[in-house]
Amino acid sequence: MPLVSIIVTYYKKKKYILKCLKSIFNQSYKNFEVILIFDDNDKNEFEYLKKLKKKFRKITIYKNKLNLGAGESRNKGIKLSKGKYIAFLDSDDAWHKDKLKKQMKYMIKNSFSISHTSYKIVNDSQKFLAKRIAKTLDHNMLIKSCDIGLSSVIMKRNLFNKNIKFANTKTKEDYVLWLNITKNGKKIYGLDKTLLTWRKNENSLSSSTIRKLVDGFIVYHRYQKYNFLKSIYLLIILSLNFLKKKYL
């Protein structure tokens, strides 16, 4: 089976990183490498990760000289990777033990270059909050609602180039990537199997409503090149769809 490069970005997640790494190294699919980008300035946490590396030997840790943010850190990880396929796992999320095996089988059998899976959402106490069902998505669907859990995605490395990469935004850096990938008719295929546990952390940037609104506008106006009014219109649609998912 092909080599899968797993990109993990780290920023102040000491509480969760051990469970994250265990979920990687317990995978039934064994042909992988782990590239961990340390985007923090806490020396104690870096020393903790170095201790974990002694246990999980297939990890390669890269320490950013300056804080780059999640998007640029993932771009760096992709450049350093060797695998034909790239998978992403945020350091506070965790995979089902057959995640790579089932998803790689699904992709190879159908000749898909990118896919995502269903996932469950839990809070900081591991209490179940909701479930998201993976569907096959095209650009017109994604432009109105971002229904992809980053940590569920596997994609071929050759999809990336200087124009198709993570954005340099505080949040929604992955949304730009999905929109650019699907812009020319490509689809992101959904595997409806719950293979990821996604943690909702109330203190994270992704939980900041104002930050999300600002970055949503940036996605449409700066990255998708829509005019001001269309960007505002799409932002309203995106927000309404988010609220619909949140309260249903």
- pLDDT tens readout for residues 43-84: 999 999 999 999 998 999 999 999 999 999 999 999 999 999
Q: 205: domain range?
A: 4-247
Instruction: Give Cα separations from 19 to 48, 130, 210 (angstroms).
Output: 14, 20, 30
CA pair distance 229, 75, nearest whole angstrom: 31
- pLDDT tens readout for residues 138-157: 999 999 999 999 999 999 99
The mean pLDDT of 107-112, rounded to a whole number, is 98
Work out the end-to-end distance of the chain between its first and last CA atoms, rounded to an integer number of angstroms. Answer: 39
- How many domains is the chain partitioned into structurally? 1
- 105-140: string of b/e by CB count within 10 Å (b at 16+)? ebbeeeebbbbbbbbbbbeeeeeeeeebebeebebe
Q: How many whole angstroms from its chain centre is CA 149?
A: 6
Q: Phi-psi category of 225—alpha, beta or left, where left has phi over 0 and alpha has psi -120 to 50?
A: left
The mean pLDDT of 29-54, rounded to a whole number, is 96
Q: pTM to 2 decimals?
A: 0.94
Residue 85 pLDDT exceeds 60 = yes
Residue 245 pLDDT exceeds 90 = no
CATH code of the domain covering residue 153? 3.90.550.10
